[in-house]
Amino acid sequence: MRKFGFFLAALVMSVGFVSVADAKCYHFSNGGEYKVCVSGDSFSDRKKAMEICKQAKGSDCGNVSSYSSSCHSNSNKCYDANGRNHRSLSGY
C-alpha cells in the first residue's frame, strides 16, 4: 500500500510539471484551405479565429474542426491574429 501511495504522489507531481501550449492554428469545417493562428485556446480565441476566417473568406467558415501548431498554404491562406495572410506560420 505504501508503494502505491508513493507511485500516486509521483504521478500527480509529474502531471503538474507538464506544460501545455495554448496557442493554436485552427482549421474550420467549411473553411477550405483557410487557417487562422491565434495565441490562445479559449472560447474567445476560437471565436476571434472564426471571425478572422469569415472576413478573409468572405463567408462563414463553420466551426473549428481541427488545430495544429503550424500552418502552410501555397496560396497564402494562413492568417495570424491580426488578420494578415502568410504563406506559413509556425510556433503556435
Domain extent listing, the chain: 22-89
pLDDT tens per residue across span 37-48 = 999 999 999 999
Q: Which of 69, 36, 40 is nearest to 50 (CA)?
A: 36
Check if the beta carbon of residue 56 is closer than 8 Å to that of residue 49.
no
Helix (H) or strand (E) holding 16: helix 2-17
pTM check: above 0.85: no
- pLDDT beyond 90 at 7: no
Q: Which of 32, 68, 30, 28 is closest to 48 using CA atoms?
A: 28
44-78 pLDDT, tens digit per residue, is 999 999 999 999 999 999 999 999 999 999 999 99
